[in-house]
Structure 1
Amino acid sequence: MLKGIPPIISPELIKALMEMGHGDEIVLADGNFPAASHSTRLINGYGHGVEEFLSAILKLFPLDTYVKCPVALMDTVEGDVKNPAIWEIYEGLLKKMSDFPVQIEKIERKQFYERSKDAYAIIATSEPLPYANIILKKGVL
């Protein structure tokens, strides 16, 4: 254990966060996301939800200020709920924990999957809520 590091941040996750450079992305994936087949660097986050990881990571992780949208969500599919409740929670956390107004983009499901394949790492969680997937782009200090 280390002082100031949230206990949900495992040694494997802290290593990945520290290795990431400016512009690298990390995916926080819900329980339905095909994380294992979309990543070469899979981090076990089972037993926890995406919101818990987002809150802990934002304490340590600078978001990219050089892009319009340093955060991306998987957009809903036609016929599903348009604005899942989890998105409002994410917006609140980002507003509270970021040093600047964060714009969030929504990416079509298959495009989100493809972008995830290029991410530095994917955290596979046990999040049961649909459309809880989120991508964070790392900035500089």
Structure 2
Amino acid sequence: MKKQGILNSHISKVLSDLGHTDTIVIADVGLPIPEGVTKIDLALTLGSPSFEETVNAIASDMEIEKIVVAEEMKTNNSEALHYIEDKFEGCDIEACPHEKFKQLTRQAKAVIRTGEAKPYANVILQAGVYFG
């Protein structure tokens, strides 16, 4: 039995299979998930698990070189934006219109759906290379 890191077998498998520049999405309860993209649904109740809790867990197990958020996060969920900026200080953070963000999710290896019920609490994480 695995004793540390991501215990969710679906997430653990996705992270293990990522190659350089592959992406995953951490999404709030409302983000549409494109057909054909693996959906890992963690939502239990509104707010649980939270966006931050989920991002923290994934970031501890994934080498991340780039972040993409929706531009609308700046005006509609500045708390989440500040969290992302602080969490990934020094990492390339790109903002794009929400409609483009949704298009980018079509290339993701998986969308991890949280219970977060705040607007635009979504992020695309691009895998980097970890050489230890």
Q: Could you say which TM-score interval applies, normalised by the shorter chain?
A: 0.7 to 0.9
Correspondences of 1:36-115 after superposition (within 5 Å): 37-47=34-44, 48-64=49-65, 70-76=66-72, 81=75, 84-95=78-89, 101-115=90-104
Mark the CA change 1:127 to 1:82 in structure 2 (over 3 Å): closer, same or farther. closer
Matched residue, 2:9: 11
CA distance in 2, matches of 1:82, 1:5: 32
**Normalised by the size of structure 1, how large is the TM-score?**
0.80
Identity, % of aligned positions: 28
- In 2: Cα distance, 1:129 partner to 1:39 partner: 25
AA in 2 matched with 1:11: S
CA RMSD between the two structures = 1.9
Deviation track 1:12-60 (CA, whole Å, cap 9, x = no partner) reads 110011111111000001111112x455211112131221111011111
After the TM superposition, list the runs of 4 or more consecutive aligned residues in structure 1 that deviate by more than 6 angstroms: none
Partner Cα separation in structure 1 for residue 77 and residue 102 of structure 2: 19
Change (3 A) 1:39 1:94: farther
Unaligned runs of 5+ in 1: 65-69, 96-100
Contact 1:39-1:119 at 8 Å conserved across structures: no
> Per-residue displacement from partner, 1:71-104 (whole Å, max 9, x unpaired)?
0101118xx8266211111222223xxxxx1121
Change in Cα spacing, 1:38 to 1:27, as seen in structure 2 (3 Å) is farther
